Chains A and B, each alone.
Chain A
Amino acid sequence: MKFEYMTDNTEKTLAPWASLDILNKLFWQGTTAALIFLFLFWREKDLPELIRRQETPMFFFWIFGICLVMTAYLNLRCGLGEFTSIKETPWIEYQKNVTYEEERPFATYGLIGFILHTVLLLLPLLPLLIMAAGFSAVEPPIVFRALAMILLFSLVSRLFGFWIYLAWDRKGPAAYFSTRIFFLILFGATVGFKEKGNVFVLLFALNKGETPLIGPGLTAYALQMLSAAVWALAFSGMIQWIIHRRQKTVKEL
């Protein structure tokens, strides 16, 4: 099994792990989240006052929500190949760059890389997330569930980005706008479905200590994770099919 995305920083890797650009983005994301955290901390610093008012501090919701948006967006861009190194070539010599992810079977190369990179991108934000969960007194199982949610939704965003990349390449405006619209729908337009359809509403409920139920024995969390997993599988399947078809065409040629 090959893991070029770890070490190869050339245009052959869709989103090189050691890309300075990605690391820079992460740094600024983390700094922004930390500043928001500090602002919230100043505002809600008096814990006895919160208890007197019987109000739950919302550190968990805000910081997990912000980190989810940032990580998912970064993953969407990674999937779309926006961080791929571009070799400077005269336009007349331009040839479409074919990455390792497009050349190799997706299930055994690209997907593993995507999952590991998603985890890696979340890692720098982890101290902040833990701090926020601690100050909101959220139970450990809820923290792990929320982390799993961030990872899965980020992975779905990345898979969608890569699917669009395969379909339209990253350069086109169609690719750019369709990924952003998808992002807005995934995290914004689903608000109408409340806890069962929107991840932020669910994070808010989890912060409040609620476990919203959709039906007998089915929690909103389980439903959201299940639907995200189904989307991830569907995108993976389509990606695999496109790659397989391309490889078949190349062989035939």
Chain B
Amino acid sequence: MDLDRFGKMIRFSFLQAFFISISLSVWAAPVSMEYQLGFNGLFQLKKWTPITVTLENRGRDIQGTLEIVVTSGSEFWRDVQATTYALAVELPSQSKKLCSFTVLIHTFAHPLVIRFRQGPTVLVSETLNLRNYFTEKQLVLMLGEKVSPDFLTMLPPEYQTVTIRPEYLPETWYGYEGAGLMILPVGTLKSLREKQFRALQEWIERGGYLVTSADLHYGIFNDENVRQLLEVRVTGFEKIPAVPGLKSFCGHSLINKEPLLVLKTEMPGALALLTEKGLPLILQKQMGLGRIVFLAFDYQAGSFLVWPGKEAFWKKILSLKPVLDLQPLELDQQIIQNTLIAAMPLHFPDLWLVFPVLVVYFGLFWVILRKSKKEQIKPLTALLGCAALSVLLAGGTWTWFYYKNHSEQISVNRFWHLKKSDNRDLTFCRSLTGLYAVKNIPYRFAYDLTDHPAVPLLPAKLNEQVLRSLSLEGTKKGQRLTVSLEKWSYRFLVMNLIVPLPISGKAVMEGNDLVLEFNNASPYTIKNGCFYFQERLFMLAEDLLPGQTLKKRFSEKEINEQEMFSEILAEKTVKELADRAAGRYARSVEKIVAFEALTRIEKAVAKRNNILHFCGWMEEDFLPLVFEEPAIQGNGVTFFEWTLPVQGAEE
């Protein structure tokens, strides 16, 4: 082979390699996507579920939208609706991004779609058959690197243990809805992202249950997250050869060859559930409605793992799960929906406005013609008169009936139901937002997703095959919720949340007198109050103003003179109270909802003489929505319900 020919071959080979490398880089998709559905691929139906998507860009810079489309309903009932959860994503070249969503899945009948698109072009898409991922069991989330495999089988059958990596934990508190318990080594808290940590805190405050354990690396207890959540002070550690006290805790004592390393800890405000030689081993701390159990030893240590009593131990730990007794009074949703629709601000003009306009118009027309017929005015004058009259009235109707109507073809109203139990600071809130439109319109409002999980309610009749009901978009400015409405239709959104409401009070029986004391430290005025006590209904004449303390005494005579509860009395009381309401909207809602609530309260607490059930109204939106488009202000009214135990009263 001569050199010239060899050189040619080398050049050709390089050229070939160059083209192959170009074609390969073009052929390879520049964006790849990985996802984690639920907790390690498991989720419960009708419960909020986290989805974590990791995007990797090996191509040019991309500004796109990551979307998750969840479809629910059935084709048979023609109530299929799709909800899109979207997030604006900037992906610079050679970058990787982790995006967290919390979605609500109602059925596994429809696939879930995850797609990343740039404008209308879908760059990468995955369609998931949900049948493979759902579980009916409540999940126990295990975090940590050394999770024992036998842990997966030792819990009761109604629980399913799932091991999960910290980066896939949800970023919203309601993302934990499917989780019954979370067990994590304290060191894991350090690795949580800020949003994840906040979500975990909020979940516990709203009734979540966390079990965490000691770490022999003390330094971890100085971590900001750990200090904030546990407030543990570690003073050293001790080796304990046996823990006989565990027998009283779970029925088995721990006696091993290998001693158990226990941290010497102090946890202000915590209750020691188990101590050994003055050393707290299991500490329980109440946090809002939820609970944290701190184990001062490492449950993944060898001596504990080989302990035969560990199954009973974890069952006992599970039994410490807080029971959430704060449930809303179930008002009939259909009645409230109908009330809100009937009380919407949109109305046709009254007949007294339409009728006179037509009478005046045709009356004048008739006069002109009459005069023209009697030759009192010339035909041309009559014609010009009729034309001028027509133009004038056309302008008038355009202004009063068309333009005004056209600019007010959208409307929103809201009903809040607050349920407070005893003097507990946290209050259960449920809001029902009614959106109405007489023209096709997307409602867009700023929406802090971390606090308000919104669920759309399906209207009774759908016009489309698939309803694009709701879109949650994450943008640089924050979360935005878009609800698309067709003309002459409505949609309701339900939001459930638990918020602190600084209203306190007490009810005491002093002799045979009932003494009430309410303290309102909230910014809301509570109006039109009434309470149900000992099968009687009492009205409060005074409003409970912000910052006010109200004391009332009802003598035995006053209590006995009060008429016994009946539906007629409830109707009369409600009417009397509603007449005091300010505004048409508040009046119409109070009249119907208060009656519905009182009759239900009577059924729920009748014969319980030591319970006082208070109802009142805040004639404003408890937490107003901020509409971006259209810029509208809706009506809002809040029903406040409060159950107070009466001290000194016989049951």
Contact = CB atoms under 8 A, between A and B. Distances in A.
Interface stretch (A17-25, A67-75, A218-226): A17-25
B348 A41 contact: yes
A31 B361 CA distance: 10
26 contacts: A9-B379, A16-B379, A18-B380, A20-B372, A23-B382, A24-B369, A27-B366, A41-B348, A41-B354, A45-B348, A47-B346, A48-B347, A51-B341, A51-B489, A52-B341, A52-B342, A54-B463, A123-B390, A126-B393, A126-B394, A127-B394, A131-B354, A131-B397, A134-B404, A137-B438, A209-B487
B456 to A, nearest CB: 15
A120 B383 CA distance: 9
Interface string B279-302: 000000000000000000000000
Nearest to A53: B461
B14 interface: no
A47 to B, nearest CB: 5
Interface in B321-369: 338, 341-344, 346-348, 351, 354-355, 357-358, 361-362, 365-366, 369
Contact of A54 (B338, B354, B383, B459): B459
B461 A20 contact: no
Given A47-B347, A48-B341, A130-B401, A38 B394 contact: no
A130 B394 contact: yes
Contacts of A27: 362, 365-366, 369
B396 interface: yes
Interface in A28-76: 30-31, 34, 37-38, 41-42, 44-57
Nearest to A123: B390
B394 A209 contact: no
Interface string A74-106: 000000000000000000000000000000000
4 A-B pairs with the lowest CB-CB distances in the bound complex, closest first: A18-B379, A134-B402, A137-B438, A126-B394
Contacts of B357: 127
Interface string B488-523: 111000000000000000000000000000000000
Query: Which among B373, B387, B401, B409 has the highest number of chain A CB atoms within 10 Å?
Result: B401
A48 B351 CA distance: 16
B440 interface: yes
Interface of B: 338, 341-344, 346-348, 351, 354-355, 357-358, 361-362, 365-366, 369, 372-373, 378-380, 382-383, 386-387, 389-391, 393-394, 396-398, 401-406, 409, 436, 438-440, 459-461, 463, 486-490
Given A57-B488, A124-B386, A131-B402, 17 more contacts: A18-B383, A20-B373, A20-B382, A23-B383, A27-B362, A30-B362, A30-B365, A34-B362, A41-B348, A52-B338, A52-B341, A126-B393, A127-B357, A128-B397, A130-B401, A134-B397, A134-B405
A209 B362 CA distance: 31
Contacts of A49: 342
Given A55-B488, A56-B487, A135-B405, A19 B439 contact: no
Contacts of A7: 380
A137 B487 contact: yes
Interface of A: 6-7, 9, 16-20, 23-24, 26-27, 30-31, 34, 37-38, 41-42, 44-57, 120, 123-124, 126-128, 130-131, 133-135, 137, 139-140, 143, 209
A9 B380 CA distance: 9
A20 B347 CA distance: 40
A41 B351 contact: yes
B462 to A, nearest CB: 8
Contact of B390 (A38, A45, A127, A134): A127
Contacts of A57: 488
A120 B378 CA distance: 18
Contacts of B436: 51
Nearest to A54: B489
A54 B344 CA distance: 14
Contacts of A139: 406, 439
Query: Which among A17, A18, A31 has the highest number of chain B CB atoms within 10 Å?
Result: A18
